[in-house]
Amino acid sequence: MFIDEVRIYVKAGNGGNGCLAFRREKYVPRGGPSGGDGGRGGDVTLVASEHYNTLLHFRFNPEYRAGRGRHGEGSNRTGREGESIEIPTPVGTVVYDADTGELLHDFTRAGDRFIVARGGRGGRGNARFATSTHQAPTEHEPGQPGEERRLRLELKLLADVGLVGFPNAGKSTLISRISAARPKIADYPFTTLEPNLGVVSAEGERTYVVADIPGLIEGAHLGHGLGTQFLRHIERTRLLAHLVDVSESSGRDPVQDFEIVLRELSSFSAALLEKPMIVVAAKLDAAQDGARVAALEQLARRRNLPFFKISSVTGQGIDALKRAMGGLVFSAAEPSRQPE
């Protein structure tokens, strides 16, 4: 099961109370105040982990509480600190405050850590209040409460190329052809119900990641079909590959399909239209009417978009498409690299 949005509750540990005590021992005259400080409460920390690829584990355990600090004791003994907890979360998770909507953190690399709730400070014991003029203090402090928060976690897959298009446009077949991913493939719409990732080998030892998301239909921004709930997974991509079914079996006009999907992308986020895009005429092996392919190619030229014709069944054009996507991905990544 693919879960990409959850709400959880986190509570850091409370600080321990400071102790009120006086040292009374045989042969120790005027022992004085000896109340120790309370221990600090434990923190709650989110840690990005490559061992998780969904937020499913949060569904079964939506509450996380760190340990409280122990109270201070006599003989100036400080209480033990509360046990902190670390919560693994997938790389690509975005953390929001569920009450205010504030963006708290964005996990973009494995091992990234973020303290979402800090433990309370331990209270001071009465020994801390002793002075030359106040030698028998009875003041002591309670521990401070730990932070508590309700969080909303969203998972955005980290991919280089996002495949978009109508349902049954051939996205799943393409990703299975160019990578080791094996998504469900069938001859009916909406066979892809959750995003799939595939790692594509480029020239040399370089690789890039392709994301296949469920298909879009007209009115997706209104909730039609599967809606636009999965489009967040291509917000981080460097390149969009727009697959258009040019076969007659679809019963639709390829140019109209292209324009409909562009409108749905724009309704979700105008930033998606600013990403580099290539147009891919898919299912070329089943296309009998060359005019349909030519009309789509002409549209791509008017928009200054690279155009490719492929058949995932016969393999026609697949290698050229892989090289083109890799070249665009790697060239887009170069400017972001800063010299050390």
Phi-psi region of 92 (alpha: psi -120 to 50; beta: other; left: phi over 0): left
Q: Which of residues 124 and 215 earns the better pLDDT score?
A: 124
* Residue 20 structure tokens: 């009120």
The confidence band for 181, taking pLDDT boundaries of 50, 70 and 90, is low
Residue 88 CB: number of other CB atoms within 10 A? 12
Q: How many CA atoms lie within 13 A of 70 on its CB side?
A: 10
CB of 69 within 8 A of CB of 40? yes
What SS3 state is found at 335? helix
64-88 pLDDT, tens digit each = 999 999 999 998 999 999 999 999 9
- Strands across the sheet containing 44-49: 85-90, 44-49, 113-117
- In DSSP terms, 258 is beta-bridged to none
Distance CA 2, CA 228 (A): 16
42-62 pLDDT, tens digit each = 999 999 998 887 888 898 899
Q: Is the pLDDT of residue 138 over 70?
A: yes
Q: In terms of Cα–Cα distance, which of 152, 158, 155, 128 is closest to 140?
A: 128
The confidence band for 337, taking pLDDT boundaries of 50, 70 and 90, is very low
Q: What is the pLDDT of residue 338?
A: 43
What percentage of the chain has pLDDT greater than the value 70?
88
Length of the chain as a residue count:
340
Strand pairing category for 63-65 and 93-97: unpaired
* Residue 10 structure tokens: 């986190």
Q: What is the pLDDT of residue 206?
A: 80
Domains of the chain by start residue, with CATH: 5-155 (2.70.210.12), 161-336 (3.40.50.300)
* Lowest pLDDT segment from 1-5, 29-33, 201-205: 1-5
Q: What is the identity of the amino acid at 78? A: T
Q: Which of residues 224 and 128 earns the better pLDDT score?
A: 128
What percentage of the chain has pLDDT greater than the value 90?
41
Most confident of 78-82, 209-213, 224-228, 231-235: 78-82
Distance CA 201, CA 178 (A): 8
Q: In terms of Cα–Cα distance, which of 331, 165, 304 is closest to 241?
A: 165
Beta strands in the chain, from DSSP E residues, in sequence order: 5-11, 44-49, 63-65, 85-90, 93-97, 103-106, 113-117, 148-155, 161-165, 196-201, 207-212, 239-245, 277-282, 307-309
Q: Count helices and strands (H / E) in the chain.
A: 6, 14
The confidence band for 14, taking pLDDT boundaries of 50, 70 and 90, is very high
289-335 pLDDT, tens digit each = 788 889 999 999 999 999 999 888 888 888 899 888 988 888 876 54
The confidence band for 207, taking pLDDT boundaries of 50, 70 and 90, is confident
Phi-psi region of 177 (alpha: psi -120 to 50; beta: other; left: phi over 0): alpha
* Residue 307 structure tokens: 């155009």
Mean pLDDT of the chain: 85
Q: In sequence order, which residues have a C-beta less than 8 Å from that of residue 231 and are 6 or more positions away?
A: 213, 216, 265, 268, 269, 272
